[in-house]
Amino acid sequence: MTSKTAPAKTSPTIESRDQLIASFARGEKPKDRWRIGTEHEKFVYAKDDHRAPSYTEAGGIRALLGDLEQYGWAPVFERGPDGTENVIAMTGADGSISLEPAGQFELSGAPLETLHETCAETGRHLEQVKAAGEKLGIGFLGLGMWPDKTRAELPIMPKGRYAIMLRHMPRVGSMGLDMMLRTCTIQVNLDYASEADMVKKFRVGLALQPLATALFANSPFTEGKPNGMLSYRSHIWSDTDPHRTGMLPFVFEDGFGYDRYTDYALDVPMYFVYRDGKYIDAAGLSFRDFLKGELSVLPGEKPTLDDWTDHLSTAFPEVRLKTFLEMRGADGGPWNRICALPALWVGLLYDQGALDAAWDLVKDWTIDERQSLRDSVPKLGLNAPIAGGGQLRDIAAQVLDIAGAGLSSRARLNKAGDNETGFLDPLREIVRSGKVPAELLLDKYNGAWGGDIAKVYGVESF
């Protein structure tokens, strides 16, 4: 989730709806300025007993953040209710490191030009956190959901927005707390050239997001046992908060663009307002009221553009629009799949021929067919039925071929002269084998592990 990594600066007050729409237009970039931003989360555990370390304990999360300063990371502080200044993030040349609600570690990478740079960034980050972890007896687990922890066993990080969300989540869904406390994801953020380009990329991203969910499905265990799903993380989103999640069917309607997404975002209930270094609880209130100066927790005050940016970060659809598009459907996983996710979406969306081919593949699917695919993928993975008959696996290789052609067309080479297509190899192997990562883990659990979930730490740790 988004963290504030710098003190709030003076921001213009919103005086008209046009300013909201213009915030999306500001994201438009010519193709030569398109970049790749990759985010990945991992679970932090104590090596001696696999517990999730707290923020304040010796050798815990705060100490882990502190040890990263030796690599040039600078701390970001947030004042807690008791006046304590807590380190809640780090910033550096490779982007920012932030904490998810139960201490999951996230790198929000810098905007980079090539997948070679993205994978190098990922490698540097993992080397640094592993070296810091070795000193503290801490390990890192690459899964989509904690395989063995109850909610009660997990610590809470001292971040103001999380306190508000933890209070609000049980009011609007049964699994929001699981989303916050027990899941990890990989995401990629990509640019667009124009409103029309954004629309086409948004539609392709939404339609094929279930395929990404299937290929990266990696959360088959809950509290030590199989949970009946391949991506329980994806299933959790089905009952987190219906007002801010989902497949956004209006994206496929005629006339969709910045204006329509603005309407959607305005109808997403608020979580908070950030003022003077503190989060003010506005959970469930209306940003439309805020625009009129009628927000009950800040009577008479109108929002700034920073408030709008914060508010956009509290919507959680399968694809999210800010000044870029976020692909949000993948479970957390090991190093090579962190690099594979941006490869999939860059290949599909950053080459016009690939984008057109991907849209041709899915453009005739109905809203109901897209939703049915989204609903069935968490349990069935590549066996989920698709529009026109057949299963998701029947188009998986074709989609990867389209992505590969897109990457080949980009012709971004490393020093050895290799293009970016090799980053798709882990996904090609999944399709070739016919088994998604979660199915391989279940085979081990039911076979060599003898039902001992602790064995997952030896297999899925970085």
* 141: exposed, middle or buried (Cβ count in 10 Å: 0-12, 13-18, 19+): buried
How far is Cα 40 from Cα 30, in angstroms, rounded to an integer? 26
- Asked whether the beta carbons of 305 and 19 are under 8 A apart, the reply is yes
DSSP 146: -
**Amino acid letter at 236?**
I
Phi, psi (5° rounding) for residue 54? Answer: -80, 175
User: If one looks up domain 26-268+315-460 in CATH, what number appears?
Assistant: 3.30.590.20
355 CB neighbour count, 10 Å cutoff: 20
How far is Cα 431 from Cα 130, in angstroms, rounded to an integer? 30
Averaged pLDDT in 10-residue chunks for the chain of 462 residues: 55 96 98 98 98 97 98 95 92 98 98 98 97 98 98 97 96 98 98 98 98 98 98 98 97 98 98 95 98 97 98 98 98 94 98 98 98 98 96 98 98 97 98 98 98 97 94
How far is Cα 192 from Cα 207, in angstroms, rounded to an integer? 17
Q: What is the pLDDT of residue 81?
A: 82
- Asked whether the beta carbons of 42 and 462 are under 8 A apart, the reply is yes
* 423: exposed, middle or buried (Cβ count in 10 Å: 0-12, 13-18, 19+): buried
What residues does each domain of the chain span? 26-268+315-460
Q: What is the pLDDT of residue 226?
A: 98
Q: What is the pLDDT of residue 223?
A: 98
C-alpha dist (Å) from residue 432 to 137, 396, 427: 38, 10, 9
* 364: exposed, middle or buried (Cβ count in 10 Å: 0-12, 13-18, 19+): exposed
Tokens of 147: 């395989």
The set of residues, in sequence order, having a beta carbon less than 8 Å from that of 412 and lying 6+ positions away, is: 113, 114, 115, 116, 419, 420
pTM of the model: 0.96
How far is Cα 456 from Cα 449, in angstroms, rounded to an integer? 9
Tokens 């002269």, residue located: 417
